[in-house]
Structure formats: C-alpha cells, structure tokens
A and B are shown apart, each in its own frame.
Chain A
Amino acid sequence: MANDPIHQFRLHDLAGPVNIAGYEISFTNSALFMGIIVVTITGILLLAARKGALVPGRLQSVGEMWYGLVDNMVKNVLGEEGKAFFPLVFSLFSFVLVANMIGMFPYFFTVTSHVIVTVSLALFVVCLVVVVGITKHGLGWFKLFVPHGVPLAILPVISIIEIISFLSRPISLGLRLFGNMLAGHIVLKVFAGFVVSLGALGGIGILGAIAPMFMAVALTALEFLVAFLQAFVFAILTCVYLNDALHPSH
C-alpha cells in the first residue's frame, strides 16, 4: 500500500537465505545499505584527503571539519589520554551520521531505524567501557558505583541507583537513536500521505493539500537537523561513558 508509513522499514532478502549452522543468513536491503554507508564514508574521506593542500578546497574543508569536530569532542571530554579512542568514536560518529543522512533520501533504507542495529552499537560501547575500566583500574573501577562524599546512611540506595542507571545505558543510548529515526520517518510519511490522499479528492482537496505539503518540506529540514544531532549525541555520549572508564571517581 502506498500510504502505509511502516512499509519503509520492511526488510526483504536480496540474496536468498543460506543455512549456516542452523541459522538462516541472508543478504537483506539493510546489509546492502550498510555496505553503501561504508563505501560512502571511505570514498568521501579518501577524496577529501587525496590532495592534502595547504589551503583546503571545498571537499577537503568538509573532511577537515568532520575530523575536527570529533577531535575536539574527544579532547574536551576525555582529555589527552582519550586519544586512543579517537578512531572508535570517529567510526561510530561517521557510521551513524551517514546512515541517518542516506536514510533521508526517498526510497532509501534507514539502517538506524532498526533497534537491532542501534542497540548492538550501544551494547558494544557499554561492554567496552566495562572492559577498559577493569583493565585500567582493576577492581577499583567499581568505585564508580560508590560516589565520594555521600553520607553512609544513604550510600546503599545511591549505589543501587547508580548500578541501575549504568545498566540502563545501552538501552537508552540505542533506543534514543532508534526512536528518533523511527518517529521522524513515520511523521514524514504520514504528512506525505495527507498530501496524496487529499490531492486524490481533487478540487478543494488540492487546496487543502497545500498546508501538509509545506509541513512535509519543513519537517524534512528538521529531520536533517535531527539526523546530524543524533549522530553527534551518540558520539558525545560514547565519550562521556568512556570517560567513566578512564576516570571512575567523579
């Protein structure tokens, strides 16, 4: 159905399922777009870095701003010792940003509108925080859950709250991105559907379709902002969480 706002999120197999060790593995449109994303990122950055001119051209400026944004973010939140995490944060930021942006094109698939993708990324980040924290600080890392200067009487309660808030991080980090992309795309398609069904009435319906048409255009602009903002937020929250691994006593 043309007006179904959920239709855009449907997965379908491009290359039939192959049975590997009891699991059905197939090449879906999601996998295809993940490939396109990686090729796009690599292509843009390679083209931008090709010349390395002292006075950057347009494309090189884009590359430098892209790099500088993440570099600043990592430096401000993690400090000098966070340099080792720059490639990770840059990859995550680029993947989410380009996935969101490619999803904005009509008939393109939005990889980040699937909860399995975003929560996998978020789980990876939070598991990394635990691994880095324990290798750097040993068991002392668990002081993260026992904040300094809290009266002894309420310490158990605070610890439980801290542990729950830590455990909810992968859920909230992944679901934020998923929810924003899903809700944004559904809203866009709902308003576009208004235009189609009002226009089909003809006459006064076409006049009525003008308002949702402008709304759809404005929402598209807003969605581009959200696409960038959510990638930025994902990257900066990754930095904030990694900061807990590097400096647990806050």
Chain B
Amino acid sequence: MDPAAAKLIGAGIACIGMGGAGIGVGHIFGNYLAGALRNPAAAGSQFTNALIGAALAEGLGIFSLVVALLLLFVA
C-alpha cells in the first residue's frame, strides 16, 4: 500500500476512539440529569462534579484526535 494512503487510513481509524469519548460524556450528563430530576435540591452542588467527569472523559477522546494529528503531520 502507498504509505501516504496508509497514513490517512490510520488517522481515520484513530478517530473512531472519539466515539467512545462521546458515549462517556453522554453517560455522565444523562445520569446527571436523571439524578437532578429526582432530587433537584442536590443538583446544583453536583454540577461541578459532572463537569469534572465530562472533562476527564473528553480528555481521553482528545488523545485519539492527537494520534490522528500525529499520523497526519508528524509520522
């Protein structure tokens, strides 16, 4: 296979990992909303924790974006 083509295909495959981050962030905010609707009084105090969780989950998705960028521009 042409190395340039292999690079592009690899970058595309690396981006599949971002789907996992999407699932994770969706889980966090979905469960946060479910909890918040059951107990609205406690929702405000937990919003920061939801954001921290979403940020940590999202960070792992960003790693796969970086792998894709490395493949495209560095490797």
Spell out A's residues near B (CB within 8 Å).
Answer: 73, 76, 171-173, 175-176, 178-180, 183, 229, 232-233, 236-237, 240
Contacts and interface: CB of A to CB of B under 8 A. Distances in A.
B62 A232 contact: no
A181 to B, nearest CB: 11
Q: Specify the main secondary structure of chain A where it touches its partner.
A: helix
A232 B47 CA distance: 12
Contacts of B63: 171-172, 175
A232 B54 CA distance: 12
Given A175-B62, A175-B66, A233-B55, 17 more contacts: A73-B48, A76-B48, A172-B56, A172-B59, A172-B62, A175-B59, A176-B58, A176-B59, A178-B62, A229-B51, A233-B52, A236-B48, A236-B51, A236-B55, A237-B52, A237-B55, A240-B52
Contacts of B43: none
Contacts of B62: 172, 175-176, 178-180
B65 A183 contact: yes
A222 to B, nearest CB: 14
Nearest to A233: B55
A216 B48 CA distance: 29
A9 to B, nearest CB: 12
Interface in B25-75: 48, 51-52, 55-56, 58-60, 62-63, 65-66
Nearest to B58: A176
B13 to A, nearest CB: 18
11 contacts: A76-B48, A172-B62, A172-B63, A178-B62, A179-B62, A180-B62, A183-B65, A229-B51, A233-B55, A236-B48, A236-B51
A237 B58 CA distance: 13
A176 to B, nearest CB: 5
Chain B interface size, under 10 / 10 to 19 / 20 to 34 / 35 or more:
10 to 19
A240 B55 CA distance: 12
A179 B67 CA distance: 11
Interface of B: 48, 51-52, 55-56, 58-60, 62-63, 65-66
Nearest to B66: A175
Most buried by A among B48, B52, B56, B60: B48
A25 to B, nearest CB: 24
Nearest to A234: B55
Nearest to A172: B59
Contacts of A183: 65
Please list the 3 inter-chain residue pairs (A to B) with the smallest Cβ-Cβ separation, ordered nearest first. A179-B62, A172-B59, A233-B55
Given A172-B59, A175-B59, A176-B59, A233 B51 contact: yes
A168 to B, nearest CB: 9
Contacts of B60: 172
A171 B56 CA distance: 12
B52 A236 contact: yes
B50 to A, nearest CB: 11
A240 B51 CA distance: 12
B65 to A, nearest CB: 5
